[in-house]
Amino acid sequence: MQIIKNIEFITGSSEEFNLNHRILNALLFGGAILLLLVIITDYILQLYWLTSVLNLVALILFVSLFFYSRITKKSKLAEIVAFTFLVVVFTPIMWIVNGGSRGSFQYFIPFFIIGIHVATSQKIRKILIPLLIVIIKGAIYKLLYSRDDTLCSFSSNFFLSPVSEVRRGKIYQ
């Protein structure tokens, strides 16, 4: 029973918020917790500085939007800002700094699509999901295959080799 009260404390009660708004609150809160863990991990592993900065900005944004959503009991602005940030800013930068299509970030994209589909209204979802697909398929793949030097390389071949070296056949020969 205490777990249900804690979840209701985070998401809001069913009398105050509709289901989509409660899911949005849970996603913003859970995303903020996850981003905090990622920032700590980035610091410990001394990963690329841009990901730490981007994760910090995302953390501040998600926490601010969570409190805005809970206090004002309005979800429209929070869902537009949060998911537009994920689609337009977070996804392209994380794609580039994580090795593009050879990196691990590509596995998060289905979660973004599910989050957009579940936590946003019909009008917003009709804009953001196609925009996410266009950004991934169009701009990011164009960048990947035309500008290998913009992708961040990894420190060893064990984790991931730079895309340009793989394409030139220098790795694993």
Sorted by where each begins, the domain ranges of the chain are 2-167
User: With 50 as the cut, is the pLDDT of residue 164 above it?
Assistant: no
What per-residue confidence (pLDDT) applies to 33?
93
Looking at residue 127, its pLDDT comes to: 86
Provide the b/e sequence for 136-158 (b: ≥16 CB within 10 Å): beeebeebbeeebeebbebeeee
Percent of the chain with pLDDT over 70: 76
Mean pLDDT of 98-111: 75
What is the distance between the terminal CA atoms of the chain, rounded to a whole angstrom?
59
